[in-house]
Structure 1
Amino acid sequence: MHTAFGREFDVPDGYLNTASIGVPPTCAADAVAAAVESWRRGTARAPDFDPAVTAGRAAFADLVGVPAERVAIGASVSALIGLVAAALPAGARVLVAEGEFTSVSFPFAAQTARGVSVVECPLEMIGTRAPEFDLVAVSVVQSADGRTVDLDALRAARTAGTRVVLDATQSLGWLPADLGWADAVACVGYKWLLCPRGVAWLALGPDLAAPDGGDPQRDGYGRALDGFRVLPHHACWYAGGDVWGSIYGLPLRLADSARRFDASPAWFSHVGAGAVLPWLAGLDRGAVREHCVGLADAVRGGLGLPAAGSAIVAVDRPGAPDRLAAAGVAGSLRAGAVRLSFHLYNTAGDVDRVLDALA
């Protein structure tokens, strides 16, 4: 059992696989177990899960830097980004990073049959090339190797009129950054946010979150993609203005906020999110980054690599997968390298374990 940032984690030494599956604090796992027990005994009631959904939504909004009214819930990044991709008009030009996680790029590539074009470029050139395109879709931190995108360059491109869609899955939870300026920020919860799989969120810019599509000039946005409007393609009862008054019959009566894009919640996943996200949002985010990045950079330094300012380390050395596995290090193979990720519950002992295995 490890204690980190005021919470207990039942995580083994050498667990460096948060970029694949985060380990929850015991209090969050206990909350999910209690909800499952209530279900098993037939005492669960559907409205009982609403407070957890609300708490998770509000904490996610805090982490991103937007009002909760601009956040929708879903189950996966690809489905939420797909709402944005489906809204693009024919002829829209989209830029993505080479080797981007496909939950970001595939939703846009799937629109090419109706005239949307998608171009790849090296991550390091995304900011420079962004003004050439109508929309840029990119992960804040790359899944395969932990490289970070130039957010300042993207924000400048956004001011000039290029729409920006961000996937914060590999950054939110350890990298403090104001992302509220982006048109859309999607994130799944089961990695760095330490939630059960089955919950994700989408924060939308003010013009996209408005029921009528908003006014880009009024909202301080450029004129790229005039008429660009996200539609609630998976509209459901939970997206209603009055959730429990929207379960039968027409007319359509969706929420005026981004809740109208909600998918029906996976209850137990939201119980976990409601237990852990408010705690994460309340931590000293600078201290969290210093802890996670400090451990990762210690590994880089021990391997003769330069500091990178990322909590993810890609180890590409002969025999590394077998040697690390034999030493009890849990990581993932990604793009031909062993991906190691350092989170709240990791310690200097994990750094020593990696360096000893690769010495």
Structure 2
Amino acid sequence: MRAFDADFAVPAGYLNTPSVGIPPTPVAAAVAEAVERWRTGADRPGDFDEYVTRSRAGFARLLGADPADVAIGASVSQLVANVAAALPAGTRVLAAEGDFTSVTFPFAANPGVTVTEVPLEELPQRVEGHDVVAVSVVQSADGRIVDLPALRAAAEAAGAAVLLDATQAAGWLPLDVTWADWVVAGGYKWLLAPRGSAWLLVRPDARERTRPVAANWYAGENPWATVYGLPLRLAGDARAFDLSPVWLAQVGAAAALEYLGGLDLAQVRAHNTGLADLLLEKLGLPPRGTAIVALDADPGRVAAAGIVSGVRGGRVRVGFHLYNTADDVERVLRAFE
């Protein structure tokens, strides 16, 4: 099908973007071409630097940030660990109940840190008395969106640092998040990139509060000059937190982020939430203004209706993205007949 100026080979009824996003044809083709170059021995390691540069710039552009403030990695938890491991003993972290564990586990794994979970809706009101807030912008399990303006105001008033996970938001929800100390996102969902691509925006004044737990040659000022020997010599910007890149993932991410960067995300949000709210309306439920919907439904009946979905917290989870249509809504409704 064709949607938002791109062709997608996605099957009808695919509503599992919160688990795995489907790339447009040019993104898949870029990865396939890279695999062919690999198969025929046509690539050299330095050839992939261009793709890393492009994906870093693409993520920065999506957030309205400077590429120098973006680190590349392979997963959300790996990048969050750079923040969690740097926290001193006695640090009090506030998190949302039931948030994705790639956000919370790195903090809980620091024995000197206390993590307190509260209901998402209460998060801004509970910031006082905490040093760091770590939360997903959009909840993976059910699509609830944190009140970002309220959280920002509360964090500034309390002097608390903020880490935001934009994995279930970036790519469909226009974001104003450069005020946060750190913003992380994985690429293989709404950003339509291969698994193995992730990014961490580090505000310049937060660099000293971030630890390069996986310091490596690629995190050097000039990576090709830091492949051997001490002393430690890392980049002077957020690249100090880079992980050696997953090459094929970065090839796909570069193409995917450039494609998404050319879209009007306000239109994407309207498309996605319009379909999600249409489904809720037809089920007699109130609109929620989010692309992810969690339903009390029989997973077997949903699958029998031709829907590819996920199950989270005992509920069927569906997500609407660029390539979904009203026909997908009708397919879900059949599971309730």
Does the aligned pair in 2 maintain the 1:323–1:357 contact within 8 Å? yes
Q: SS state of the match for residue 318, structure 2?
A: strand
Partner of 1:332: 310
The question of 1:187 aligning with 2:185 is answered yes
Shift of 1:193: 0.4
| Aligned-partner Cα distance in 2 for 1:276–1:98 | 32
Secondary structure of 1:95's aligned partner: strand
Aligned runs of 1:29-48 on 2, under 5 Å?
29-48=28-47
Q: Which residue does 2:296 correspond to in 1?
A: 316
- Say whether the 8 Å CA contact 1:313–1:341 is kept in structure 2: yes
- CA drift at 1:116: 1.2
Report 1:109-124 matches (<5 A). Answer: 109-111=108-110, 113=111, 115-124=112-121
CA deviations over 1:100-155 (Å, ceiling 9, x no partner): 110011111111x2x21111100000011012211110000000000010101111
* Cα displacement (A) at 1:233: 1.9
Residue 100 of structure 2 corresponds to residue 74 of structure 1: no
Out of 218, 243, 252, the position equivalent to 1:238 is 218
Q: Which amino acid aligns with 2:119?
A: P
The equivalent residue for 2:24 is: 25
- Specify the code of the residue in structure 2 equivalent to 1:329: I
**Is 2:141 the counterpart of 1:144?**
yes
Q: Write out aligned runs for 1:181-330 (5 A).
A: 181-209=179-207, 213=208, 229-317=209-297, 320-330=298-308
340-349 vs 56-65, which deviates more? 56-65
Residue type of the partner of 1:185?
A: V
**What is the TM-score of this pair, normalised by structure 1?**
0.92
C-alpha contact (below 8 Å) 1:158/1:182 kept by paired residues: no
Indicate yes or no: 2:335 matched with 1:352: no
In 2, the alpha carbon distance for the partners of 1:180 and 1:131 equals: 21
CA shift at 1:157, angstroms?
Answer: 2.1
The one-letter amino acid of 1:274's match is A
Distance in 1, Cα, partners of 2:211 & 2:77: 16
State the secondary structure of the residue aligned to 1:159.
helix
8 Å CA contact retained: 2:81, 2:213: no
Identity %: 60
Partner of 1:217: none
- Deviations along 1:310-335, whole A, 9 cap, x unmatched? 00010113xx3111101110000100
> TM-score w.r.t. structure 2 length?
0.98
Q: Say which SS state the counterpart of residue 23 (structure 2) adopts.
A: coil
Tell me the secondary structure at the aligned position of residue 201 of structure 2. Answer: strand
Matched, 1:131 2:128: yes
1:79-94 equivalent positions in 2, closer than 5 A: 79-94=78-93
Letter of the 1:336 counterpart: G
After TM superposition, which residue ranges in structure 1, 4 or more long, deviate above 3 angstroms? none
Count how many residue pairs are aligned between Structure 1 and Structure 2. Answer: 336
8 Å CA contact retained: 1:190, 1:196: yes
**5+ residue gaps in structure 2?**
none
Which moves more between the two structures, 152-161 or 22-31?
152-161
Instruction: State the match for 1:56 in structure 2.
Output: 55
C-alpha deviation, 1:282, in angstroms: 1.9
Q: Deviations over 1:6-34 (max 9, x none)?
A: 11000000000000000001111111011
Q: CA deviation at 1:279?
A: 1.3
Unpaired runs of at least 5, structure 1: 214-228
| SS of equivalent to 2:85 | helix
Q: 2: CA distance between counterparts of 1:237 and 1:110?
A: 26
Code of the aligned partner of 2:323: Y
